[in-house]
């Protein structure tokens, strides 16, 4: 009975060591008699017990590695703390196991030295404005260095850059000063634009007022000219009518002179008319005045 139990136990142990189930996105590095034998992919794998054994289980997923925050001295002698994360993926499991003792340690040390080399060539301001450049340079250098280890570095990201407290205070004061400066410039620009707009509006209003006044004067002058023209035409018609009446009634010279004097009086009464009478005509006018008195007496 005990013999059967022992035999059953031995069979179970042999079966356990013979059949291996490899999970998805993982591979087994199999050694035979201490020497690399094969890579077992996902699924059921059969190995020879006591001759073969699993040296390492390697994940093919993309992995992340947080690099411990490092103090780095910039080109202008400012000590800053940089926190970095590396994204990598194993492409050759055998080389990742046999080419380096610890792949993660190798990537970490390489990243630290590369960060110090890159940031040490930059000023403090450049480190804040050139994160993409630093990330790209880190990725290229790490990818080239880890290629011999069967690893590919996909991305490198700087999570945080922390300057010293005094530098941070100075930067905050500088930022506040810049904000105040920009606010003052914007306010001055707004006031200037407002003054320009008001001046342009007043200019346009003055031009429109002048145009309106000009148009009013033109129209007034045109109306007065038209009125004078109409008055002149009416007077001309009246003179024509008087002339025709006198002509038809065969007037003598004194009557003609009297009518001419009346017409001259009407013309002189106009606001825009000025009549200048020669000195030689005064005798004739005195005669006309006497004739007018005679006519009044007859009437």
Encode 62-81: b = buried (16+ Cβ within 10 Å), e = exposed. Answer: ebebebeebebebeeebebe
| CA atoms of 46 and 54, how far apart (whole Å) | 11
| CA atoms of 213 and 135, how far apart (whole Å) | 73
Residue 61 confidence (pLDDT) above 60: yes
What's the pTM value of the predicted model, to 2 decimals? 0.54
Per DSSP, 36 falls in state E
The pLDDT score that the predictor gives to residue 139 is 92
More confident residue, 99 or 287: 99
The pLDDT score that the predictor gives to residue 243 is 64
Nearest CA-CA partner of 26 in 85, 81, 93? 93
Question: How much of the chain, in percent, has pLDDT values that exceed 70?
Answer: 80
Predicted confidence band of residue 294 (pLDDT cuts 50, 70, 90): very low
Mean pLDDT, residues 212-224 taken together = 84
Predicted confidence band of residue 153 (pLDDT cuts 50, 70, 90): very high
Predicted confidence band of residue 292 (pLDDT cuts 50, 70, 90): very low
More confident residue, 215 or 262: 215
Query: What sections of the chain are H helices per DSSP?
Result: 2-18, 93-98, 103-119, 124-129, 131-146, 165-248, 253-268, 282-298
Predicted confidence band of residue 279 (pLDDT cuts 50, 70, 90): very low
Please provide the CATH number assigned to the domain covering 63-163: 3.30.479.30
Mean pLDDT, residues 11-18 taken together = 77
Q: Following DSSP, what letter does each residue of 65-105 receive, concatenated? A: EEEEEEEEE-TTS-EEEEEEEEEEEES-HHHHHHS-S-HHH
Predicted confidence band of residue 87 (pLDDT cuts 50, 70, 90): very high
- Per-residue pLDDT of 233-259, as tens digits, reads 777 777 777 667 666 665 556 555 665
**Of 44-58, 152-166, 260-274, minimum mean pLDDT range:** 260-274
Mean pLDDT of all residues belonging to the chain: 79
Strand partners, 236: none
| CA atoms of 55 and 53, how far apart (whole Å) | 6
Domain boundaries, given as residue ranges, for the chain: 2-59, 63-163, 176-240, 251-299
């Amino acid at each position: 009975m005990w013999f059967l139990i022992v035999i059953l136990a031995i069979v179970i142990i042999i079966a356990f060591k013979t059949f291996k189930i490899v999970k998805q996105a993982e591979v087994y590095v199999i050694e035979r008699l201490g020497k690399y034998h094969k890579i077992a992919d996902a699924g059921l794998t059969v190995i020879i017990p006591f001759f073969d054994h699993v040296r390492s289980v390697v994940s093919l997923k993309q992995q992340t590695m947080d690099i411990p925050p490092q103090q780095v001295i910039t080109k202008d002698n400012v000590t800053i703390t940089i926190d970095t994360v590396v994204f990598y993926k194993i492409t050759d499991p055998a080389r990742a196991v046999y080419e380096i003792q610890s792949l993660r340690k190798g990537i970490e040390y390489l990243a630290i030295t590369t960060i110090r080399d890159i940031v040490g060539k930059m000023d403090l301001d450049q480190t804040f404005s050139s994160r993409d450049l630093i990330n790209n340079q880190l990725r290229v250098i790490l990818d080239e260095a880890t290629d011999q280890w069967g690893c590919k570095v996909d991305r490198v990201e700087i999570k945080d850059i922390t300057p010293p407290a005094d530098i941070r205070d100075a930067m905050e004061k500088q930022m506040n000063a810049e904000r105040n400066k920009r606010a003052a410039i914007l306010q001055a620009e707004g006031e200037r634009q407002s003054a320009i707009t008001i001046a342009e509006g007043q200019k346009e209003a003055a031009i429109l007022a002048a145009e309106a006044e000009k148009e009013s004067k033109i129209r007034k002058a045109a109306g007065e000219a038209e009125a004078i023209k109409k008055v002149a035409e009416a007077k001309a018609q009246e003179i024509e009518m008087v002339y025709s009446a006198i002509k038809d009634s065969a007037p003598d010279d004194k009557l003609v002179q009297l009518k001419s004097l009346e017409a001259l009086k009407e013309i002189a009464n106009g606001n825009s008319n000025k009549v200048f009478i020669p000195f030689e005509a005064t005798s004739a006018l005195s005669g006309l005045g006497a004739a007018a008195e005679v006519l009044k007496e007859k009437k």
